[in-house]
Structure formats: structure tokens, C-alpha cells
Structure 1
Amino acid sequence: MPARIRFAQIAAVAHVTLSYPKRFNAMSRAMWRDLRAVFERIQGMTELRCVLVSGEGGHFCAGGDISEYPGFRFQEPSLRTFHEDEVWGALNAMLGCDVPLVAQIEGNCMGAGVEIASCCDIRLATESARFGAPIARLGFPMAPREAALVAREVGLGTARQMLLEAAVFSAPDMLQRGFLSRIVPDADVGTLARASVQRISQLAPQAARLNKQTLRALMHDQLPMLLTTAYDYADGIEHREGIAAFLEKRAPTF
């Protein structure tokens, strides 16, 4: 099967699947470009309430498609284009997405997989999942924007071990280090990931989008920029419904 990013929509939930099973879903250049296009599309889909990001065939993502590397990595302009335009373009589209993102992580989550997972809001992993970025064995560093993203999400100490020791961590390790939201049995990951998506989807969607905007502003020290519009939701339908439902002792309808 060709390397691709699969997109499907079921009601108010988008399913984004990294699909290159013969290489454990390693990211090709075309997949990076497709991932960007998918998330730019998702950002404009106002009906969506949650996105589930997963890999095909029992793995999340084993890193980059190394078979492509000799064709562009040895020239500075093409290497820069790859990291700054293709990879960061996709990751930045994920980071800029206001819809909540849930990662369903199985098997290998290496390099590019850690970067993609780092863009997600909730991260569920199987007990057998493995995490790392052992690119030092390939003779090159992690690109600066990607390293900053990973270090922020996994922690600076863990990033140092991944990049300097080529250390690989278990799911319990990454839960303890604060990267994972939850570890689940391998056989139950799909069911429990969908349950998480369903819980999010039942809550107020505009509130979720506003929360993501606020959290993004906090990460970039841009909170003052939000203050002029921070309370524009005052007369909003969701706001009125949520409070009315609480006072009337009923479930809200969002």
C-alpha cells in the first residue's frame, strides 16, 4: 500500500491515520505535505469536536522514511526545505488546530512519531509502546523547531537522553515523565481512545476551541493579545446552555 495520510469523518469526529504499514508508518515527504493539508482543512471544519490521530497496523510512527534521505539530505537548501517547510509546516498546522486532538499510540513512536504525538492534547498509549528519537545513530541532529517542541512536551531531561544517548523509553517511563495522559492494555486501546474522543465530543465545542487558543497563547507568551476578545462568549449559546442546564439539574445539550 502507498504511504499516505488517511482522513475520515464520523459525525463530529475526524479520524487521521498515519498509513505506511510496511515501514511501521514512517513519514515520507508526501505524508508530511498531506498531514499539513489535512490539518489546515480540519481547522476550517466548524462542525468538528475532536480529532483522533493514530497509526495503521499496530504502530503509531517509526520516524522518517530513511529510504528517501539520500535524495535530499546532503544539500543544505533541500534539507532546510524539508524541515522548515514540509515537517514544520505539518507540525505547525497541528499545533494551530483549535479542535482537541487525541493520540492513540501503539508500538513504535520514534522521531517523527514523538513530534506528531507532541502536537496532540491527550495522549493514550498501549503498555507495549516504545518512545525515542535515536537519530544520533543516523549522524544528524533534530531540527531546532522540532527539538523545541519535543523538549517542551517530553521535558528537557528526557529530550537530552533521547537525542544524546539515543535512549528508548517504555510507556510507563513516559507516563511517569508526564508525556502520556494514560496507559491502557494493548487490546483495549482503540475502545478507550474512542471513549476519550466521545467524552470530549459531548462537551462544549466552542469552549474547547477557546481553551486551546488560550493554552497556545500561554506557550508563546502571547496572553495579553487575547484579553481584548477573551470574554466575547458572554452572550453565547453554549455559555447560556451550560449554566442553565446546571441550574435546572439536567445534562446540557451542546
Structure 2
Amino acid sequence: MFKTIDFEVQDHVARIVLNRPDAGNAFNSDLARELAEAAMACDLDPAIKAVLLSARGKIFCAGGDLRAFAGFGDEATPRVKQLADDLHKAISIFARMDAPLIVAVNGSAAGAGFSLVIAGDIVIAADNAKFTMAYTAVGLSPDGSSTWYLPRLIGLRRAQELAFTNRTLSAAEALDWGLATRVVPVADLEDAARAMCHQLAAGPRAAQATVKRLLLCSPGNGLEAQMEIEGRAIARAAGTPDGIEGVQAFAAGRTPVFE
């Protein structure tokens, strides 16, 4: 039972909806903890083949709940650390779970909301979406994995610009910079995100999980080390039911049906 998110699983697709619209879906302690719990549920369910993350209301996520932070008083340091730990647990699970994470972004994604978006495997943005780091504007530093993902996605110089100046990117700019996968009219966001989820859910779960692991470990490996990991992975995949089905379907000129 969740208070700050909606969670459901249907047709091998898990849907997580941030549900604090009156607070701009900003992260308080409950939302961070419940997001980690939902991520764990997705990770542990072998029937889930895609995860869709979206938000209720006109704002995707305004970042940390600064009104809540203001009430922490002398407990600000430990309480913000606990919140960050729960958010980081969620993002770590999302990165390492087998199912790809599709993020559907409506309205503004700021601070931790921005960080959460760029941790997705596929990001579909409505044409009204806006992206800003916003941390230093309120005297804080980035969290939510943004300082890991950003330089890898857009390069150090652009990451520095966003982090220091809090520049706001439009949906079109985010697409041009490589932060979004696709931009669609706001009225089409739900349908586009669901279509992507169902497309991936029809794919080979183990092979898609391997794609995630290969891309995640790539920055820390040299060329030969990465190729050895790739070689072992594709050899294992060739002997799985999905690998056998995919090859046989190609040879027969038919569409594969994966488990």
C-alpha cells in the first residue's frame, strides 16, 4: 500500500506514477522510500518486462520538497541524507533490474526530478516538458546520480553549464542534447509511452537485461575487457530459449515470439 505513488502491473508492464501533484510531485521522505520499494518490487518480479514511470498533474517532479526540508531544523543533515539514500536505492535498482525503465515526462523536471529522468533507459518527453538541475539555485548540490549520468550523456562542458547555471532546457533542446529519446505532443504522451512499454515487453527479457548491464559497465572497462564481457554474454544468449527462438524465427522469415 503506497501513499505517494500509484503502482500496478498489467500485461508484463509495471507502472509507477508519482502521486503528489499538489506538491509538484516533490520528493519527501515518503516518496523517496516508496519509490525504492516499488523499484524493488519491479526487480524481484520475473514477469515484469518493462517499467513505466510517470507523474500525476502538470509537473513531473519539482525535485526535493523544500518546504519539508525547511521544517527539518537541526536534523536537516541526517534527514536529507536518509532521503537521498532512499532515492539512490531506487535509482540503483532501476539501473540494475532486468526490465528497461521508460520515463514519460510531462511539465517540469527539476532537481531530483531531473536526475530521475536521465537515469531512465528511454525518455519520452511531452513537448511542454522542461528540464533544469536547480540545485545550486537553493544552495544545494546535485544528487540522484546526475553527476554520473550527465557527463556521459552530454559531455563535461554541457554538464557543467547545467549544474552551475541552472539553465532550463526545453523538450526540443533536451532531445537535441541527448537527454530525451523522443518528444511527442503532450496529448500523445500517454499513448506513446504505453506503446513503447508494450513493444519492449514483447521483446527478449534476458537480452534486454544484458543490454542494460553492458552499457552500465562499459565506462569502467577497457576495450578488450568490454569485448570479452560481450563475447561471453552473446554466447550465453545464443543458448537461451529466446536466443534460439530469435535465430530460428529469422531463418524462417517469421516474427519471433519471446517468452
Deviation at 1:140, TM superposition (A): 1.8
> Which residue in the other structure is 2:125 paired with?
125
The 8 Å contact of residues 16 and 53 in structure 1, kept in 2 or not, is answered as yes
The 8 Å contact of residues 28 and 83 in structure 2, kept in 1 or not, is answered as no
**TM-score for both structures, normalised by structure 1:** 0.90
1:227–1:159 Cα change, 3 Å: closer
My pick for the range that moved more, 92-101 or 103-112, is: 92-101
CA distance in 2 between counterparts of 1:43 and 1:187 reads 30
> Which residue in the other structure is 2:242 paired with?
238
1:73–1:166 Cα change, 3 Å: farther
> Which residue in the other structure is 1:182 paired with?
182
SS in 2 for 1:62: coil
CA distance in 2 between counterparts of 1:225 and 1:79 reads 41
Matched, 1:42 2:46: no
Matched, 1:215 2:228: no
> Which residue in the other structure is 2:149 paired with?
149
My pick for the range that moved more, 176-185 or 194-203, is: 194-203
CA distance in 2 between counterparts of 1:236 and 1:214 reads 18
1:180–1:33 Cα change, 3 Å: same
My pick for the range that moved more, 174-183 or 53-62, is: 53-62
CA distance in 1 between counterparts of 2:114 and 2:154 reads 9
CA distance in 2 between counterparts of 1:240 and 1:124 reads 32
Q: How many residues align?
A: 252
Q: Percent identity at matched positions?
A: 26
Matched, 1:64 2:64: yes
My pick for the range that moved more, 55-64 or 170-179, is: 55-64
- AA aligned opposite 2:210: L
1:60–1:39 Cα change, 3 Å: same
For structure 1, the residue ranges without an aligned partner over 5 or more in a row are: none
The 8 Å contact of residues 87 and 144 in structure 2, kept in 1 or not, is answered as no
CA distance in 2 between counterparts of 1:181 and 1:227 reads 24
Deviations 1:55-84 (A, max 9, x none): 11233111111111134475544443433x
- AA aligned opposite 1:173: E
- AA aligned opposite 1:178: G
Larger helix share, 1 or 2: 2
Deviations 1:138-175 (A, max 9, x none): 11222495422333334433322222112111011111
- AA aligned opposite 1:210: T
Matched, 1:171 2:171: yes
The 8 Å contact of residues 3 and 28 in structure 1, kept in 2 or not, is answered as no
CA distance in 1 between counterparts of 2:139 and 2:155 reads 23
- AA aligned opposite 1:124: I
The 8 Å contact of residues 245 and 256 in structure 2, kept in 1 or not, is answered as yes
1:177–1:161 Cα change, 3 Å: same
The 8 Å contact of residues 88 and 146 in structure 1, kept in 2 or not, is answered as no
CA distance in 1 between counterparts of 2:3 and 2:151 reads 28
SS in 1 for 2:254: coil
Provide the aligned C-alpha RMSD in A. 2.3
For structure 2, the residue ranges without an aligned partner over 5 or more in a row are: none
Matches within 5 A, 1:67-106: 67-72=67-72, 75-83=76-84, 85-106=85-106
> Which residue in the other structure is 2:54 paired with?
54
My pick for the range that moved more, 192-201 or 217-226, is: 217-226
- AA aligned opposite 1:80: K
1:218–1:248 Cα change, 3 Å: same
- AA aligned opposite 1:82: L
1:227–1:128 Cα change, 3 Å: closer
